[in-house]
Amino acid sequence: MIIKVSELSEEGLSLDDPTQFQGAFADPSWLLEGLSLHFEPDGSDVLVTGEIQARVPLTCSRCLESFPGLIRAAVDVTFSPRPAGADSVELGRDDLDVDFYVNDQLDVSRVLETETSLALPMKPLCRDDCRGICTVCGGNRNLVTCTCEENRVDPRLAVLRDLSGRHAR
């Protein structure tokens, strides 16, 4: 969906029906489950506020298993017209919540994908008590009981272990 910025009324535009945006994401495995966005004109800028909810396949950072993650993205961004003739624009410290629109058109699908991508967790976990993988055999400790010796000493460092034992006496 494209919004013509010059045609936005003073009250703005509210969007809350995720079915209008089926296929909004480049990756078809991402599913938009909910949204509540408000587009409000502010001179030539457009203020976008609200929330996006999407179901995204993630990989657990501990056990490396795939799982569906619910992403909730709080949206608070200002869109300004792209400066004429500028392929790249240098942003300052206060400009991290600024994006641009081109030719009086604001692409809502791009807003959805960008804001959802920014909300992805850096280290997703399939569950809070995920036990991860065994560092010795590589087995998923959530699925199998591992009997590997945890405190194996690297043979190259065994000399240091012997030294620390002498000083303890």
Examine the domain organization and report whether 109 and 64 are in the same domain.
yes
Examine the domain organization and report whether 7 and 45 are in the same domain.
yes
Residue 64 banded pLDDT, cuts 50, 70, 90 = very high
Q: Say if 15 falls within a structural domain.
A: yes
Residue 56 and residue 71: Cα distance in Å, rounded?
7
Examine the domain organization and report whether 110 and 138 are in the same domain.
no
* Domain span holding position 165: 131-169
Element (H, E) at 109: helix 108-118
Q: Say if 126 falls within a structural domain.
A: no
Mean of pLDDT values over 113-123: 93
Q: Say if 39 falls within a structural domain.
A: yes
Cβ contacts of 158 within 8 Å, gap of 6 or more: none
pLDDT of amino acid 146: 83
Total domains present in the chain? 2
Q: Say if 123 falls within a structural domain.
A: no
Q: Say if 79 falls within a structural domain.
A: yes
pLDDT of amino acid 147: 82
Examine the domain organization and report whether 79 and 144 are in the same domain.
no
Mean of pLDDT values over 107-115: 90
pTM of the model: 0.76
Q: Say if 124 falls within a structural domain.
A: no
pLDDT of amino acid 6: 86
Examine the domain organization and report whether 13 and 85 are in the same domain.
yes
From 6-20, 27-41, 82-96, 140-154, the region with the lowest mean pLDDT: 82-96
Examine the domain organization and report whether 30 and 52 are in the same domain.
yes
